[in-house]
Amino acid sequence: MTGPRGIKMSHIEEANARVLMELIEILLVCQNCDYQISELLKVANCVLKREEFFKLMAQYDVFKKNVCILEALIDEVEVPLKMVQILAMKTMVRELKREFDGLIVMLDMANNRIDQDDIDFEKAEVIHCLLDQVEFDVIDFDDFETNSEAQHLVLKVVDESEHDVRYTSFKMLRITGFEKRVDAYAYALQHGISKDMVVSR
């Protein structure tokens, strides 16, 4: 194998180059997968069933943690790579590929449902409205199921200190529904929520 200036590379350098190239490729794949999953989670309520949603959340959480570990390993890379570094990275890449395959199954299932119009269009319309109103990573699944048909929705975005551990570090949207606008505004005022976070259907 020849280096960038036509200099013949040693076997160690070739092995290092292969490992680093594999790491770059898997990180690019992970970044693309991360983007697609994060987009799916925003609209999950109209595409996935409850058990599918929480299964995806659990898989995605493990995936993101392992990506962070791999990124930390790469940050500590010193060329030439030590054998222990190569083994650690190879192990992490293998785990990520396995997790990636599981996420792809969920993405394919969701995309097939969307392609076949096998989604809840009324919920999709509400989610579209919410995305225009506020920035969030995921909607509290049970909140949405309970309140999405209400005429007036009070929105609150919470971090991991305020929500169910199953939502890990996501910025989650909590929803409380009311049939009367005055009740929605009263609830918002009582809980220190801006009136701008009250949405009427």
Question: Would you place residue 163 in the very low, low, confident or very high pLDDT band (cuts 50, 70, 90)?
Answer: low
Domain that includes residue 37, residue range:
11-115
79 within a domain of the structure (yes/no)? yes
pLDDT in tens, 111-128: 999 999 999 999 999 999
Question: What's the CA gap between 104 and 135, in Å, rounded?
Answer: 25
Residue 4: pLDDT above 60? no
Structure tokens belonging to residue 112: 């097939």
Distances (CA, A) of 99 to 17, 22, 59, 180: 25, 17, 7, 45
Note the pTM of the prediction, 2 decimals.
0.79
Largest CA distance in the chain: 77
Domain boundary among 115, 138, 160: 115
The CATH number for 69's domain is 1.20.5
Per-residue pLDDT, 176: 95
pLDDT exceeds cutoff 60 at 3:
no
| DSSP characters over 157-181 | EE-TTTS-GGGTT--EEEEEEESSH
Torsion of CA 90, 94, 99, 103, to 10 degrees: 100
Between CA 14 and CA 132 the distance in angstroms is 50
Give residue-wise pLDDT tens across range 190-201: 999 999 999 998
Q: What average pLDDT score do residues 48-54 get?
A: 93
The predicted pLDDT at position 96 comes to 85
